[in-house]
Chain A
Amino acid sequence: AFKAAVLIQQWYRRHVARLEMRRRCTWRIFQSIEYSCEQDQIKLHNFFSYLMDQFTPSSSKERDFISRMFVSGESYKEAELEKYCDYESIEVPDSYTGPHLSFPLLPDHATALLEAFQQKQQLHARYVLNLLHETRKHLKQLPNISHVSTCYSEEITVCGDLHGQLDDLFLIFYKNGLPSPSKSYVFNGDFVDRGKQSLEILVILFTFLLIYPKEVHLNRGNHEDHMVNLRYGFTKEVMQKYKVHGKKILRMFQNVFCWLPLATLIDQKVLIIHGGISDTTDLDMLEKIQRNRFVSVLRLKKRKESSGKPQIQAINGESESGTDAAPRLSLQPQTAQAPSTANRREFSRWLRQTVQEQIDTCRRLVDISESEPEELTYSSMVSLKDADEPCWTLQEEWKQVLDILWSDPMPQEGCRENKVRGGGCYFGPDVTEKFLEKYSLQFLIRSHECKQEGYEFCHSRKVLTIFSASNYYEIGSNRGAYVKLGPDLIPHFVQYQANKTAHLLTMTQRQGFLVALFAKISRVEESAFRALREKLFAHTSALISAFKSYDRDNTGKITLSNWATAVESVLRLGLPWRMLRPQLVRSAEDGMLEYKSWLDDLAMEQRSQEHIQSSLLEVIYRNRSNLETIFRIIDRDHSGLISFEEFQQTWKLFSSHMNIELTDDGINDLVRSIDFNKDGNIDFNEFLEAFRLVRQCP
């Protein structure tokens, strides 16, 4: 019997070890895919800058097209904003059963909203706009860095990324209590995108912000940025929920996000920022800049044919002396109204006049030498107001904001560019140490990265990451957490997981432990592997070339070892392929894989019913999120329709940039398989939906 016990013990330990290994591999898969998605965004930015650099519009149509890419995100003057995004003319019908708001807001309004959202009701557009106007008014008065003290309210609760997951916010309020004069909260950015209830979260947070302005503090995150929203879901969500007033609402959000404070300081000892810091982060600069100028921190690469020193001062000069006659940098349209579909022609005409001027002006002003590592935001140049500049350049200011919102800590010392995300830095423990010392701080709190337990320390407990969106990658993938700080500034954590079944599957329960753990892992795992198989499929041709290079004799087979090396060289996800192989490769005789049939199997899982050229499908598939973003930018009035020519043009530009060879026939075939109206418009949501369905097939 003793031997039996020992044996069982051994087996059990190994089994647990195997499960743990699988769990971690799954985690790595999700993380690497998420970050590589953000790398896709870099490609998108490169595409924009390619347009700026290379593309000379040869027709008025093309010029329209280009200008539409860049005329976005300008911040409206106050009066124009009020006029365009006005809410008073919007009537609330008697049939409306949702909550009614009146200003100034009261705690009852907040409770009404919470109840309404729990019952899946929607707040009327008029109230949304009204709320946004009031929020903007309030935020404008706030400094760039909020100062909070623990002596007024005993404990401060800090929450991290929520990403549209309303259930998590409800859970936090349930466990911790609603904001009140005795309950202070700091929300550290990334309220929107990815989750489906970003709007509701913002409404609730802004409501509490206005009711309890001393107790509720919001920091801006990198997702409080309309260019990011275009890609990651917030724009879509708003347009779906508010079909008539969505545009206005989105415009208002842009003008609210840019007024969100950049940081919060507790007791002058603990700094809370969304992303992180860099070795050049300067709190004095951050306190003084005009934060609302950075409507988006989307960046463009420097121009190729430029030389000489940066002429930022020239920009200031221009705008100071600018009258209506001189070519203005600001791309505000002459009429307060943004064009609707009906006014498209008029808008095009206006654009045609000014866009060439704009591009030329930019060329003159953005004169950065080749050696300059800095990059400039177009929209920050565009949204310049008056210039009572102290000694910093616009570039330096922009970098400060970018670093705060996008940086990540790393274990190694030093500070280097964050190429994975395409923004901000990786900062090491030495950077943290110097920074804390310089400003006499105790530690930093940041968010921006998903953590398994909802929170994680690094840099010898000098940097705390707090992440409040549970089950971020998939149900069961991670916990969310919030942190409470008292006057002693010692952090206390509360973790949670918003999903009843996931709750039951806690690691500490020995009873049914193995079964539960197995179930949880395999669900999350399934999802991870599905995502991974998609990625493999999307790189079919590159994989074939890589495999062929290991198969000189053309046998159609390669060793499993070479398979792993080849796959990594193509996908570059940094994953343990040999560990993952059993899940990805079903059959391999004597250690050799027939790669062509393996790839065919992958394709069969992914392909839709339509018979479309496989290479075209693959290319579109791989780039669909980029395409979607571009489409949404072209579709200025968010109508969901673009004309056939626009679609063709988009595709041509994109494919020439990506060096893809496609015939016109190929595109036509594709388009023919999509329904479109008689007037030649394509509902591109339908088009993209086709690929989404392919992805969702089990």
Chain B
Amino acid sequence: LVAEIEKKITEAFEVFDRESNKTVDVRFVNIEVEEPGGFVHLEHFLPVMTKVLLDRRFRPIPEDVILHAFEALDENKCGYITKDDLVKHLTKE
């Protein structure tokens, strides 16, 4: 199972690896990796990401939960949120 996950991670990594040298721009990586110079190397990324996936920290969010979240923001219960409201909520710290 671990081997399979590692293969998957490597594949995904390579898709973003523009220069084919096993590094990816740090902006594409959403987890904390200590890396100076703005590039993440596959060697560092792989173990961290494997652990994250094994711990199931990046599970997809089920639809009903998302729906619930939207409902919480819809104060007037009218079934929609305006773009401005959404932007306001999402950009508040």
Chain A interface (Cβ within 8 Å of chain B)?
Answer: 1-5, 7-14, 17, 21, 24-25, 28, 411-412, 510-511, 561, 564, 576-579
Using A1-B72, A578-B7 as known contacts, say yes or no to A8 and B66 having CB atoms under 8 A apart. yes
Among the listed A10, A17, A578, which residue makes an inter-chain contact with B8, where contact means beta carbons less than 8 Å apart? A578
Would A1 and B73 be within 8 Å (CB), given that A7-B61, A9-B90, A13-B30 are in contact?
yes
B16 contacts the other chain (Cβ, under 8 Å)?
A: yes
Residues in B whose Cβ lies below 8 Å from that of A14: 58, 60-61
Min CB–CB distance A273 → chain B (angstroms): 22
Identify B70's interface contact among A8, A24, A411, A561, CB under 8 A: A8
Write the B34-67 contact mask toward A (1 if CB under 8 angstroms, else 0). 0000000000000000000000001011000110
Assembled-state Cα–Cα distance A510/B87 (Å): 10
State in angstroms the CA–CA spacing of A354 and B20 once bound together: 51
Residues on the B chain within 8 Å of A578, using CB: 7-8, 11
Question: B10-43 CB contact bits vs A (8 Å, 1 = yes)?
Answer: 0110111001110000000010000000000000
A577 and B73 in contact (CB under 8 A), knowing A8-B90, A14-B60? no
Report the separation of the CA atoms of residues A21 and B24 in the bound assembly, to the nearest whole angstrom: 13
What residues of chain A lie closer than 8 Å to B60, measured between beta carbons?
A: 14
A12 to B61, CA, bound (A): 10
Contact A5 B73 (CB under 8 A): yes
* Residue in chain B with minimal CB distance to A28: B15
Q: Which residues of B are found within 8 Å of A511, using beta-carbon distances? A: 83
Bound CA–CA A208/B32 (angstroms)? 56
Contact among B4, B12, B65, B86 with A21 in the assembled complex (CB-CB below 8 Å): B12
Query: B69 in the interface, Cβ–Cβ < 8 Å?
Result: yes
Residues of A with C-beta under 8 A to B77: none
Residue ID in chain A nearest B15 by CB atoms: A24
**A3 CA to B72 CA, complexed, in Å:** 9
Across the two chains, which residue of chain B brings its CB closest to A1? B72
**Complex Cα gap A13–B20 (Å):** 25
* A577 B11 Cβ-Cβ under 8 A: yes
Interface residues of B, count at CB 8 A: 29
From B15, B16, B19, B66, name the one whose CB has the most chain A CB atoms within 10 angstroms: B15
On chain B, the residues within 8 Å of A9 by CB distance are 90
Contacts of A8 in B (CB 8 A): 66, 69-70, 73, 86, 89-90
Q: Please name 6 pairs of A and B residues whose Cβ atoms are closer than 8 Å in the assembled complex, sorted by A.
A: A8-B90, A11-B69, A14-B61, A24-B16, A28-B15, A561-B7
A residues near B4, Cβ cutoff 8 Å = 561
Q: How far is the CA of A511 from the CA of B84 in the complex (A)?
A: 11
* Inter-chain contact A576/B19, CB cutoff 8 Å: no
Whether B66 lies near A11 (C-beta < 8 A) is yes
| A411-B20 contact, Cβ under 8 Å, with A8-B66, A8-B90, A579-B11 | yes
B residues less than 8 Å from A12 (CB atoms): 90
Give the complex CA separation of A21 and B14 in angstroms.
11
Is B61 a contact partner of A10 (Cβ separation < 8 A)? yes
Given A4-B72, A24-B15, A576-B14: A11 in contact with B89 (beta carbons within 8 A): no
Q: How far is the CA of A482 from the CA of B3 in the complex (A)?
A: 45
A1-B73, A7-B65 known; A579 vs B7 contact (CB < 8 Å): no
Q: State how many angstroms separate the Cβ of A15 from the closest Cβ of chain B.
A: 10
Give the residues in chain A near B65, CB-CB below 8 Å: 7
Main secondary structure of the interface of B (DSSP, over half): helix
Check A5–B89 contact: CB distance below 8 A.
Answer: yes
Alpha-carbon separation in the docked complex, A17 to B22 (Å) = 19
Cβ-closest chain B residue relative to A560: B4
Q: A5-B92, A411-B21, A561-B3 are in contact. List 15 more A-B contacts (CB 8 A).
A: A3-B69, A4-B69, A4-B73, A5-B89, A7-B61, A8-B66, A8-B70, A8-B89, A9-B90, A17-B30, A21-B15, A24-B15, A24-B16, A411-B20, A578-B7
Q: Which residue of A lies closest to B58 (CB)?
A: A14
Q: Which of B14, B69, B72, B89 has the most chain A CB within a 10 Å cutoff?
A: B69
Chain B: minimal CB distance from A10 (Å): 7
Q: Which residue of B lies closest to A559 (CB)?
A: B4
Which residues of B lie under 8 Å from residue A17 when comparing CB positions?
30
Please measure, in the bound complex, the distance between the C-alpha atom of A506 and the C-alpha atom of B70, giving whole angstroms: 26
Q: Which residues of A contact B58 (CB under 8 A)?
A: 14
A125 to B8, CA, bound (A): 57
**How many Å lie between the Cα of A11 and that of B8 in the bound state?**
21
Interface residues in B71-93 (C-beta closer than 8 Å to A):
71-73, 83, 86, 89-90, 92
Q: Find out whether the CB atom of B21 lies under 8 angstroms from the CB atom of A4.
A: no
* Complexed CA–CA distance, A12 and B70 (Å): 12
Residue of A nearest to B73 (CB): A4
Taking CB atoms, residues of chain B closer than 8 Å to A5 are 69, 73, 89-90, 92
A14 to B61, CA, bound (A): 10
Closest chain A CB from B78 CB (angstroms): 16
Contact residue among A3, A4, A11, A25 (Cβ-Cβ distance under 8 Å from B15): A25
Per the bound structure, the CA–CA distance linking A577 and B60 in Å amounts to 21
Beyond A4-B69, A7-B66, A8-B90, whether A579 also contacts B19 by CB under 8 A is no
Quick one: which of A3, A8, A11, A579 has the most chain B CB within 10 A?
A8
Alpha-carbon gap, A41 to B33, bound state (A) = 44
In the complex, the answer to whether A1 meets B66 with C-beta atoms within 8 Å is: no
Docked CA distance A128–B60 (Å): 61
Contact (A11, B72) CB under 8 Å given A21-B15, A25-B15, A576-B12: no
CB distance from B32 to the nearest CB of A (A): 15
Q: List chain A residues, Cβ under 8 A from B3.
A: 561
CB distance from B9 to the nearest CB of A (A): 10
Query: Smallest Cβ distance from B31 to chain A, in angstroms?
Result: 12
A412 to B20, CA, bound (A): 9
Instruction: Give the Cβ gap from B68 to chain A, nearest Cβ, in Å.
Output: 8
Rounded to whole Å, the gap between the CB of B71 and the closest CB of chain A is 8
Chain A hits for B20, CB < 8 A: 411
Q: How far is the CB of A463 from chain B (nearest CB, A)?
A: 13
Please report the C-alpha to C-alpha distance between residue A115 and residue B67 in the assembled complex, in whole angstroms. 54
Instruction: Determine the chain A residues whose CB is within 8 A of the CB of B30 once the complex forms.
Output: 13, 17
Q: Which residues of B are found within 8 Å of A564, using beta-carbon distances?
A: 7
In the A-B complex, list the 3 residue pairs whose CB atoms are closest, starting with the nearest.
Answer: A576-B11, A4-B72, A4-B69
Q: How far is the CB of B15 from chain A (nearest CB, A)?
A: 5
Q: In the complex the two chains form, what is the Cα distance from A161 to B13 in whole Å?
A: 30
| Closest A residue by C-beta to B86 | A8
